[in-house]
Structure 1
């Protein structure tokens, strides 16, 4: 079963990889493994990875954080992953003041804050999934992608999955939640409603077993795993 994967990079990093020693993830290898476990007759034919560039001025390690992201994306591209970029938008705003967990938020007590938001990624993923389904619906059945897999726990993707389910009933839908074991998270029921299958957790063993070599050859200089990763 020919399978195309669509990965929300922000969701993947903060839901599965942040704070772990597994950031140098061999994404194609991991996705191929999970897809085969969930649907044994499946193989991954394409991976689309959606992200936004790190802002060094706001990153914990400054320019090193950007360099680490750039190295990883180069490694993914060398593994035939298509990378698509959104953008970050920083603007001022107001938010309720945090006092403690027992004190509810109040609009009467707000403070000025900087709000950093990722822009364009969600819409880009949704459109890309739907366009693939629409474009390939004109191909002979044996040449079509037969399954799409969304790697995200973001319920903003629900309308896209619903539209694909309604308009392309023969196309299977899988969802991989970027949730690692040992961390309690709510399962997004709206995504599950339109999926043929859903993987709830990626284990630590799976992350450890699917890591890139420390140096990944590219068309130019090798992509090298950051020392602090």
Structure 2
């Protein structure tokens, strides 16, 4: 079945990858292991560029290296949102009467981009089956539109232990992304692209 994959990059990272040594994740290998009968023709990865932090100045470099690895997958596209930082005044958790000024950083665009492409591609007849990697209930409505109004199959590969009930109500099927399949779906430590050889970040080894 002609299949398009839509990956909520930050949802996948924070729910299944962060805190592990398996960040060098080959998304195509992961999807092929979980969907052995699917004919995967497009893989869209939705994310945003991270910024350097005082305690982790190498974060953007590692992300760039990972993007480079992902681009070795011929049918994969990286679609970027962005981070917006703005000052906010919030109470302290241990003293609600004390208000402090903080810099709040929010990721914008990824969910909207994923939802828009999911519905648009389905409307244009570009796939027979869509797979969304997420556990974010914000995507329930576009998934419902594709399944109920466009009459197309929509599956979830869930990066969390439990599937969100709002998603469960609108999908065709779901499969969990277990730690073992993530471990078995890593890129080789050394890869080659048109620029040359590059390696898995040292911090991820």
TM-score (norm 1): 0.83
Please give the per-residue CA displacement for 1:17-75, whole angstroms capped at 9, x wherever unaligned.
Answer: 11101000111001111122xxxx323221000110011136x421x111111011111
Contact 2:53-2:59 within 8 A present in 1 as well: no
2:143 aligns with one of 161, 178, 184: 161
Equivalent position of 1:72 in the other structure: 66
Runs (4+) of structure 1 moved beyond 6 Å? none
In 1, Cα distance between equivalents of 2:196 and 2:9: 24
Using a 3 Å threshold, how does the CA distance of structure 1 residues 33 and 116 change in structure 2: closer, same or farther?
same
Coordinate RMSD, CA, aligned: 1.7
Equivalent position of 2:10 in the other structure: 10
Q: Aligned-pair distance for 1:111?
A: 2.7
Equivalent position of 1:174 in the other structure: 155
Equivalent position of 1:53 in the other structure: 49
Q: Aligned-pair distance for 1:156?
A: 0.9
Please give the per-residue CA displacement for 1:93-149, whole angstroms capped at 9, x wherever unaligned.
Answer: 1233212xxxxx95x55332211100111100000101101112xxxxxxx521100
In 2, Cα distance between equivalents of 1:215 and 1:70: 15
TM-score (norm 2): 0.92
Equivalent position of 1:222 in the other structure: 197
In 1, Cα distance between equivalents of 2:141 and 2:90: 28
What is the aligned residue count? 203
In 1, Cα distance between equivalents of 2:69 and 2:89: 39
Correspondences of 1:206-217 after superposition (within 5 Å): 206-217=181-192
Equivalent position of 1:32 in the other structure: 32
Secondary structure of 1:174 counterpart: strand
Please give the per-residue CA displacement for 1:139-195, whole angstroms capped at 9, x wherever unaligned.
Answer: xxxxx52110011111111111121123211x110011212xxxxx55311111111
Structure 2: state its 5+ residue gaps: none
In 1, Cα distance between equivalents of 2:179 and 2:165: 24
Equivalent position of 1:193 in the other structure: 169
Secondary structure of 2:203 counterpart: coil
Secondary structure of 1:149 counterpart: strand
